[in-house]
């Protein structure tokens, strides 16, 4: 589903991702953790084509995103993204935020897109907020609206960059439950950057440990326990 092969990314002289190879299989929920500046956000941004990669390959299904012939819109349909700061369009209602991509990318009719939006809002528990503007939503509601928007083009993969970092613990739980549903019931593969070990324990089956742009190891999560084998991996996990 996502195959990263010898990925290198540099900004000027600064090599921020070094020879990263990892394969994410369909239906997985995998977390990416590491200290600030270790390259986590850049890694996600490379996967959905927001950053041009310097070397290596990233395959999403059969699409090689480094191939200049690959249509970026096709990639965006496959890979949804949610952000720490929600990034909803403030001048659009919740429904219009959700229908924007299906109408412009998938060329769906407005009526069909609206119908889909209502289904998505039900999935994330926001059906009563369809017509309001983002400013009237709480943080947790904004993030659930952001998740509904990311799901609208029916992606196979959802990337989430610290989606609960701006939320209090109770709200984090509601967003986490929403992500878990999406992964388990709707079979969307999730790659999530987070600092919260509770999120990893409850949601993820593996965790990739990044440090200074290098992938130290990919640890298994079994029965709510993270099994890092390298000393530095254990250190990263115990930091929380």
* Residues β-bridged to residue 215: 210
Contact 89, 97 (CB under 8 A): yes
CB of 102 or CB of 213, closer to ligand ADP:
213
CB of 13 or CB of 131, closer to ligand ADP:
13
Ramachandran category for residue 202: left, alpha or beta (phi over 0 → left; psi -120 to 50 → alpha): alpha
Alpha-carbon distance of 186 to 182, in angstroms, equals 5
Instruction: Give backbone dihedrals phi and psi of 88, rounded to 5 degrees, phi first.
Output: -75, 155
Residues at the site binding Mg ion, with contacts judged by CB under 5 A: 40-41
| Two tokens, residue 160 | 């989430």
13, 36, 223, 231: which one binds ligand ADP (CB under 6 A): 36
Alpha-carbon distance of 190 to 194, in angstroms, equals 12
Using CB under 6 A as the binding rule, whether residue 11 contacts ligand ADP is answered as yes
Least distance between ligand ADP and beta carbon 232 (Å): 16
Using CB under 6 A as the binding rule, whether residue 186 contacts ligand ADP is answered as no
| Segments in the chain forming alpha helices (H) | 40-47, 72-78, 94-104, 110-123, 139-151, 169-184, 197-203, 231-238
- Out of ligand ADP, Mg ion, none, what residue 16 binds, judged by CB under 5 to 8 A for its kind, is ligand ADP
Hey, which residues between 41 and 70 contact ligand ADP (CB under 6 A)?
41-42
Least distance between ligand ADP and beta carbon 155 (Å): 21
CB of 40 or CB of 142, closer to Mg ion:
40
CB of 113 or CB of 200, closer to ligand ADP:
200
Least distance between Mg ion and beta carbon 167 (Å): 16
Span interacting with ligand ADP, options 37-45, 56-64, 93-101, 166-174, rule CB under 6 A:
37-45
Alpha-carbon distance of 95 to 152, in angstroms, equals 10
* Closest to 215 (Cα-Cα) out of 1, 51, 39, 56: 39
Least distance between ligand ADP and beta carbon 43 (Å): 7
Least distance between ligand ADP and beta carbon 41 (Å): 3
Contact 7, 52 (CB under 8 A): no
Span interacting with ligand ADP, options 38-46, 95-103, 106-114, 215-223, rule CB under 6 A:
38-46
Alpha-carbon distance of 236 to 226, in angstroms, equals 11
Least distance between Mg ion and beta carbon 127 (Å): 32
Residues near ligand ADP (CB under 6 A) are: 11, 14, 16, 34, 36-42
């Amino acid at each position: 589903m996502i195959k990263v092969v010898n990925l290198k990314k540099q900004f000027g002289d600064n090599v921020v991702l070094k020879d990263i190879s990892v394969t994410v299989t369909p239906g997985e929920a995998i977390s990416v953790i590491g200290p600030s500046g270790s390259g986590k956000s850049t890694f996600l941004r490379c996967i959905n084509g927001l950053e041009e990669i310097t070397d290596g390959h990233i395959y999403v299904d059969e699409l090689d995103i480094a191939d200049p012939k690959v249509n970026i819109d096709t990639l965006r349909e496959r890979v949804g993204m949610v952000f720490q700061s929600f990034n909803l369009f403030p001048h659009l209602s919740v429904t219009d935020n959700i229908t924007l991509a299906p109408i412009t990318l998938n060329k769906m009719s407005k009526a069909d897109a609206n119908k889909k939006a209502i289904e998505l809002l039900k999935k994330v528990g926001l059906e009563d907020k369809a017509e309001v503007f983002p400013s009237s939503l709480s943080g947790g509601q904004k993030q659930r609206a952001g998740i509904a928007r990311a799901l609208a083009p029916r992606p196979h993969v959802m990337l989430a960059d610290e989606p609960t970092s701006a939320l209090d613990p109770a709200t984090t739980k509601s967003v986490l439950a929403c992500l878990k549903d999406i992964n388990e019931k709707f079979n969307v593969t999730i790659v999530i950057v987070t600092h919260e070990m509770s999120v990893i324990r409850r949601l993820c089956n593996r965790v990739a440990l990044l440090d200074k742009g290098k992938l130290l190891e990919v640890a298994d999560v079994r029965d709510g326990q993270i099994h890092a084998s390298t000393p530095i991996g254990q250190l990263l996990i115990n930091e929380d």
